[in-house]
Structure 1
């Protein structure tokens, strides 16, 4: 019985040690520390996503989240030969001057003294902070290979229209709500008695002060009427405190 207990303790200890090693290998980046992300493809061009662009900042946030939530994976990290081309590579430039690199991972098989390496589906190699680790993330892998090419250039037309409308209605708000300028959305709009010039509008936005503070966002909900004879009239304002991270990402169109 005593031997069985000792054996179980050894197994638990080894498992815990492996978990600790994996945890130490897991890269952790902060979105606010990233200056820009640049992707280069061997055949297919290049593109940069900058931190100071409001729309591209959301893309950087998405990429950083994939890196931080990727799972450490076992397999080849360093290829012995330079014959295998790097078909796509991502460079992440930090504000302190550091650069992290992400490239596809490979699986290698030796047969008849010939080693063949093929790209590993869903896996990448992360190099940064003097360490190199193999990670599994299908989202990050797909984006590295092709996804970045299909990101919209600038905010979509519907977002720009919503921002324009919100800016108009924002000027009618009391200064008490001046902080609510982030990720504005037109939640609902309807005609009054079918008249194309008169509308009931429901809009919302997040408080900017929580943007870099690490706190949960608050969300404002505004109900108003917009008519030629009376102009804009704010009918109701409510504040939803501490919404979930998922809700805030949906508000900013970063999650469906």
Structure 2
């Protein structure tokens, strides 16, 4: 009988260690695998971010990056507390899986009652019945309130960049007409401090590469824009062999 108890304890300890190991697994997602992110508050506010929307895809990519760069919490994990979270994210995958992110809780017993408060900077990530407590201040802040303040549609700063780039592109030879993807005004400098005269540095990717038929290239344009001379192109270079990381930065998919 004593041997049986010892064996049972060994199995119980082994099972417990497996559960703890599961809870320390770092989630790794790919933006292209995410269909949408649904944000909900207990107050009834909600918002859906869809992968099919070009701007919202950037937001999804940002959230996925925070998940992947978060760290498993070393503190005590309250995974079984039955309390409705004040805010929750549902990450829906293209394969049908759903991951849930909610605030982590710190709970204590007082007078035979359990009281819980939100653990600052920590969240609970649940997928396929496996829960893990993660540390990520960015993800935590976005889960609670950040999603409510995301712009609806493309921010006006990006629209202004697109407008300026389109204007400047018209001064180039038609040879460069394909460079219209993810346009950016990289830098603007005043000429001798004059607010009416500027040196502009702009860039964009070749749109034809979006279909995967040709490799990505990036155009770099340097020009002057003044009242007396208008737009004058000073330098045009084509950068070949653009890496995936550089593409994502150009298209504001990554910092």
Q: Any unmatched runs of 5+ in structure 2?
A: 1-16
Q: Which residue of 1 aligns with 2:154?
A: 155
Q: Distance in 1 between matches of 2:245 and 2:218?
A: 12
Aligned to 2:67, what secondary structure does the other structure show? Answer: helix
Q: Structure 1 residues 208, 150: CA separation in 2 closer, same or farther (over 3 Å shift)?
A: same
Q: Which residue of 1 aligns with 2:235?
A: 236
Q: 2:127 aligned with 1:128, yes or no? A: yes
Q: Distance in 1 between matches of 2:195 and 2:111?
A: 79
Q: Structure 1 residues 77, 218: CA separation in 2 closer, same or farther (over 3 Å shift)?
A: farther
Q: 2:159 aligned with 1:164, yes or no? A: no
CA contact under 8 A between 2:99 and 2:127: conserved in structure 1? yes
For each residue in 1:171-224, what CA deviation from the matched residue of structure 2 results, as whole angstroms up to 9, or x when unmatched? 5344467255214225226579x796x8654312245678798xx976421023
Q: Distance in 2 between matches of 1:136 and 1:150?
A: 22
With structure 1 as the length reference, what TM-score do the two structures score? 0.73
Q: Structure 1 residues 46, 101: CA separation in 2 closer, same or farther (over 3 Å shift)?
A: same
Q: 2:201 aligned with 1:202, yes or no? A: yes
Aligned to 1:57, what secondary structure does the other structure show? Answer: helix
Q: Which residue of 1 aligns with 2:87?
A: 88
Q: Structure 1 residues 116, 53: CA separation in 2 closer, same or farther (over 3 Å shift)?
A: same
Q: Which residue of 2 aligns with 1:221?
A: 220
CA contact under 8 A between 2:34 and 2:91: conserved in structure 1? yes
CA contact under 8 A between 1:77 and 1:132: conserved in structure 2? no
Q: Structure 1 residues 208, 141: CA separation in 2 closer, same or farther (over 3 Å shift)?
A: farther
Q: Distance in 1 between matches of 2:109 and 2:211?
A: 50
Q: Distance in 1 between matches of 2:92 and 2:231?
A: 45
With structure 2 as the length reference, what TM-score do the two structures score? 0.73
Q: Structure 1 residues 224, 183: CA separation in 2 closer, same or farther (over 3 Å shift)?
A: closer
**What is the alpha-carbon root mean square deviation over aligned residues?**
3.9
Q: Structure 1 residues 188, 112: CA separation in 2 closer, same or farther (over 3 Å shift)?
A: same
